[in-house]
Amino acid sequence: MSPQEKLDTRTRIVLAAMELFWAKGYNSTSVADILSRTQLNAGSLYHVFPGKQDVLVAVLEFYRDGIQENLLDPAWEGVDDPIERIFALLDRYRWMIVETDNTYGCPIGSLALELHEADPVVRELLAINFTNWAGAIERCLEEAGERLPAELDRRALSEFVLTTMEGGVMQARTYRDVAYFDRGVAALRDHFDMLLVRAAGRQAMA
Amino acid sequence: MSPQEKLDTRTRIVLAAMELFWAKGYNSTSVADILSRTQLNAGSLYHVFPGKQDVLVAVLEFYRDGIQENLLDPAWEGVDDPIERIFALLDRYRWMIVETDNTYGCPIGSLALELHEADPVVRELLAINFTNWAGAIERCLEEAGERLPAELDRRALSEFVLTTMEGGVMQARTYRDVAYFDRGVAALRDHFDMLLVRAAGRQAMA
DNA sequence: GGAAGGGTTGAACGCTCATTCAAATATCGG
DNA sequence: CCGATATTTGAATGAGCGTTCAACCCTTCC
């Protein structure tokens, strides 16, 4: 018995579509792909969802609602220091890159660039997923308190961490080489080190 | 008379396809789209190109061969300082974002994420385009000489500049707001400022 | 046991897609 | 001006797409 078989139809579709959209992209995933993977028939899918795009919306809502349990909690297990948590999260992406033979792509980032004329509902969900990701980083930065310069724009830096992840993932996949991701993270680490030094200097003066 | 009409068939196709792939993506651009824009018939296209993917290859070669004239030269006009050139290039992207009502996407980056199972030839061309872009930045970093720390990994930093651009463009487009790009560039500027300070400190000691 | 209705079946539909090709036309060397 | 070669025409093809729907199954409740 497949592990999906106890789940309800809607959930089975969302899980299958999540994997397929991630692996092949939205446009390259056909409804038939989703049906064959879930062993369902067209009517069942269209009984639950008005159309293919509504499946995408459900997938993006799933990412949005599961970021804590599915991404942050696993990445931060046993890591307490707020700044190390940031790099632990990046390390989790590194792990996913390696695990997929350097073909990993951030599902949100890939969809954001693939869907050129995205429906407003879809675009807003992509944006919310980015916001939640960066928001989690921003909370780490706030927790770091005085270790970082007081005047530092914490929101900007949290977005910059997201940028580092997305850019690193993009290059690692294009070159099929994690080293590109690693060098990006190393540059970000350098950035943090310099910020920490700057803040420590200010602290010492006061 | 359309400005394209004096050009040969192959060039007309490549130029039209370049625009369409950029605006709609590769998969969402049909051969019929290219034909209607060039006012050609299917047979003409297939006389020049074996198939749609070969048009993509030609487009990527066009980007590869034109980076100096079409991207770097315009961006660096009147800018001599090597570090300012880096930010002048980023500013050119900012301009394109604004010009497209915050819908701009880097053609290479978008294709890199859209094409999940890209043909090796295509992937290599995407990688070469990235390499050339980062290579141009790396030359700026080398020109900056002792202004940057001696031990700095210039290749890593040039890739980090690319990361900043790609991540900023991705977020600006998703949120339909240049401010996301601006904050990314500001963070990178901060990074450079700290590197310059670090190098200046080392210089003073010697 | 039977009516009701949520859920499923899977063939069929209309459309778009990339691609083909025989025929027509343009170009050019001799 | 002719013949050969290069290029263009545009209808046709078959595969795949998202979606529909009448018929059917199965649970639930009286």
Domain count, chain A: 2
Q: What percent of chain A has pLDDT over 70?
A: 95
Residue with tokens 């446009």: A27
Does A84 share its domain with A181? yes
Tell me if A24 sits within 8 A of A46, measured CB to CB: no
Q: How confident is the model at residue A5 (pLDDT cuts 50, 70, 90)?
A: low
Does B34 share its domain with B71? no
Does B25 share its domain with B90? no
Is the pLDDT assigned to residue A2 strictly greater than 50?
no
Reference A145, options A199, A76, A85; nearest CA is A199
Does A120 share its domain with A193? yes
Please report the DSSP string for B78-101 in residue order: T--SHHHHHHHHHHHHHHHHHHTT
Does A77 share its domain with A132? yes
Dump pLDDT digits (tens) for B146-165: 999 999 999 999 999 999 99
Does A31 share its domain with A130? no
Tell me if A114 sits within 8 A of B114, measured CB to CB: yes
Q: How confident is the model at residue B202 (pLDDT cuts 50, 70, 90)?
A: confident
Residue A54 forms part of a structural domain: no
Binary contact (A191, B191; C-beta < 8 A): yes
Dump pLDDT digits (tens) for B121-148: 999 999 999 999 999 999 999 999 999 9
Is the pLDDT assigned to residue A104 strictly greater than 90?
yes
Residue A57 forms part of a structural domain: no
Q: Which nucleotides of C are covered by protein (CB under 7 A)?
A: 7-12, 16-23
Interface check A121 vs B, CB under 8 A:
no
Residue A58 forms part of a structural domain: no
Cα–chain-centroid distance for residue B2?
27
Does A120 share its domain with A157? yes
Does A113 share its domain with A12? no
Is the pLDDT assigned to residue A66 strictly greater than 70?
yes
pLDDT at B2: 46
Nearest-angstrom CA–CA distance, A174 and A168: 10
Residue A160 forms part of a structural domain: yes
Is the pLDDT assigned to residue A119 strictly greater than 80?
yes
What are the CB-based long-range contacts (under 8 Å, 24+) for B59-63?
Answer: B59/B14, B59/B17, B59/B18, B59/B21, B60/B108, B60/B111, B60/B122, B60/B125, B60/B126, B60/B129, B61/B125, B62/B14, B62/B18, B63/B18, B63/B107, B63/B108, B63/B129
Residue A173 forms part of a structural domain: yes
Query: CA of A174: which chain B residue's CA is closest?
Result: B127
Is the pLDDT assigned to residue A3 strictly greater than 70?
no
Does B34 share its domain with B115? no
Q: What is the overall mean pLDDT for chain B?
A: 95
- How far is residue A17 from each of residues A34, A107, A119, B68, measured CA to CA in Å? 6, 12, 18, 42
Interface check B132 vs A, CB under 8 A:
no
CATH number at residue B125: 1.10.357.10
Q: Is the CB of B200 under 7 A from strand C?
A: no
pLDDT at B5: 53
Range of the domain at A35: 1-49
Does A23 share its domain with A82? no
**Amino acid at site B84:** E
Q: What is the overall mean pLDDT for chain A?
A: 95
Does A18 share its domain with A120? no
CATH number at residue B17: 1.10.10.60
Is the pLDDT assigned to residue B24 strictly greater than 70?
yes
Which chain A residues contact residue B19 at CB under 8 A?
none
Q: Which residue in B27, B132, B190, B198 has the most chain A C-beta atoms within 10 A of its own C-beta, making it the best mutation to test that interface?
A: B190
pLDDT at B7: 86
Does B39 share its domain with B60? no
How long is the CA A2 to C1' D21 vector, in angstroms? Answer: 30
